[in-house]
Amino acid sequence: MNKQTFFTPGPAALYPTVAQHIQSALDKQIPSISHRSKVFQDIYKQTYHNIRTIFKLPDDYAVLFTGSATEVWERMLQNCVETESFHLVNGAFSKRFADFAQLMGKTAHLHEVPFGEGFDMAKVDIPSTAEMICVAHNETSAGVSTPVDDIHALKDQHPDKLLVVDMVSSAPLPLLDFNKIDAAYFSVQKAFGMPAGLGVWLVNKRCLDKAKKLEAKGQATGAHYRLVNLWKSFEKFQTPPTPNVLGIYLLGKVSEDMLNQGIDQIRHETEVKANLLYNALSNPTIFKGFSPFVANHQHRSASVIVANTPGSAAEFIAKVGQHHMTIGSGYGKYKDAQIRIANFPATSVAQIEQLIETMTQCL
């Protein structure tokens, strides 16, 4: 069987070393160890250390594990918002976070821009009553990125509010200054190139203090998965319930490999590959009728490239698939009018060049 190379935005291609780490985990019987054992504590500690190094996390940050990024939305709202949250919305994922706030009985303030556009921060008006500001670094549905300087500026303007960043489809790439944000999160099946089933919640002590404050006021913040409980376990490098031990082990190994390769090098290659893709898809003599969806170059995502297709996206994706390359469809109502190509660390410059070459043969 010929293997497909996945350029889908998640689940995505596995990082090249994942197979060997799964094998080593089986050899070491990692899936059978107790999550109360010293072996597990050492795995958590090592993974924490590597994640901390990648993101340059300050001392007051915990690294917590959940089932997925979606779960983190719920946990953040439960534990850190009494009544009001503020959401910068530019696509399906940032919208869903706001929907969750409403479902949980909070007042969600939205600043929403049309699909495919980024934010003009001068136009963003955040009410003084909002307790938490939520923004996606990379809106996967539209291929729109919010520049990290714009994210940091939110904190400069609203130092009293908690600032929460969705980096699900860009981590480990964005150069966020974690002194300027209070929490961020991702799922491992996207740019980390791992099997799904683990959410990673980077969260600081201000969020913990807020949760404690709300609990003191009598707010229900959850049960077993309360932030206070997760944090208490983290201090012993444990988790309240039985976690995805294999996922935590793999994350430690993959992040170690990324550190060895050099995060700056990975960022640089991501830029190179993104430029190759955007340049190709902007070239009317080769990709006739195609065009990058995001007009503003400042807001174009480096990790998820979205392009309009002249005809049916599904037909084009099927043709490319026959060459053993899987690219993603458009999101929601753009399913058959756009393609989405993941540009994650798992795929090399040579593979992106080959993808472009293959796509030209499928026109």
Residues that bind ligand PLP (CB under 6 A): 10, 68-70, 93, 136, 140, 166, 168-169, 187
Nearest-angstrom CA–CA distance, 319 and 247: 34
CA distance 62 to 238: 12
Minimum Å distance from CB 214 to ligand PLP?
24
Question: Which CB, 169 or 221, lies closer to ligand PLP?
Answer: 169
Please tell me the distance from the alpha carbon of residue 150 to that of residue 220, in angstroms, as a whole number.
33
Least Å distance, CB 68 to ligand PLP, is 3
Nearer to ligand PLP, 10 or 193 (CB): 10
Please, what is the angle between helix 205-216 and helix 227-234, to 10°?
Answer: 130
Cβ(14)–Cβ(203) below 8 Å: no
Residue 339's H or E segment, with its range, is strand 338-342
Q: How far is the CB of 88 from ligand PLP (least distance, A)?
A: 12
Nearest distance in Å: CB 262, ligand PLP: 25
Which is nearer to ligand PLP, 347 or 356 (by Cβ)?
347
Helices (H), the chain: 18-27, 38-55, 69-80, 92-103, 148-157, 205-216, 227-234, 245-261, 263-281, 313-322, 349-361
In the bound state with ligand PLP, the residue whose beta carbon lies nearer, of 89 and 281, is 89
> Which CB sits closer to ligand PLP, 178 or 186?
186
Residue 60 or 112 having the CB closest to ligand PLP: 112
Query: Least separation, in Å, of the C-beta of 1 and ligand PLP?
Result: 27
Q: Which is nearer to ligand PLP, 280 or 346 (CB)?
A: 346
Q: Is 122 exposed, middle or buried (0-12, 13-18, 19+ CB in 10 A)?
A: exposed
The count of C-alpha atoms lying within 13 angstroms of the C-alpha of 352, restricted to the half-sphere facing its C-beta, is 26
Please identify, using beta-carbon distances, which residue of 280 and 299 lies nearer to ligand PLP: 299
Tell me the closest approach of the beta carbon of residue 109 to ligand PLP, in angstroms: 19
Least spacing, CB of residue 2 vs ligand PLP, in Å: 28
Helix, strand, coil percentages (3-state) for the chain, rounded to 5, are 40, 20, 40
- Residue closer to ligand PLP (CB basis): 43 or 134: 134
CB of 10 to ligand PLP, least distance (A): 5
**CB of residue 232 vs ligand PLP: minimum separation in angstroms?**
24
Dihedral, 66, 70, 72, 78 alpha carbons, nearest 10 = -120
Encoded amino acid at 138, one letter? N
Which two structure tokens, joined as six digits, stand for 76? 């953040």
Pairing of strands 183-187, 162-166: parallel
Minimal distance in Å, beta carbon 171 to ligand PLP?
10
Calpha distance 142→137 (Å, rounded): 12
Residue 21 Cα distances to 121, 193, 202, 233, angstroms: 43, 13, 24, 26
- Distance separating alpha carbons of residues 262 and 241, to the nearest angstrom: 34
| Smaller CB separation from ligand PLP, 70 or 351 | 70
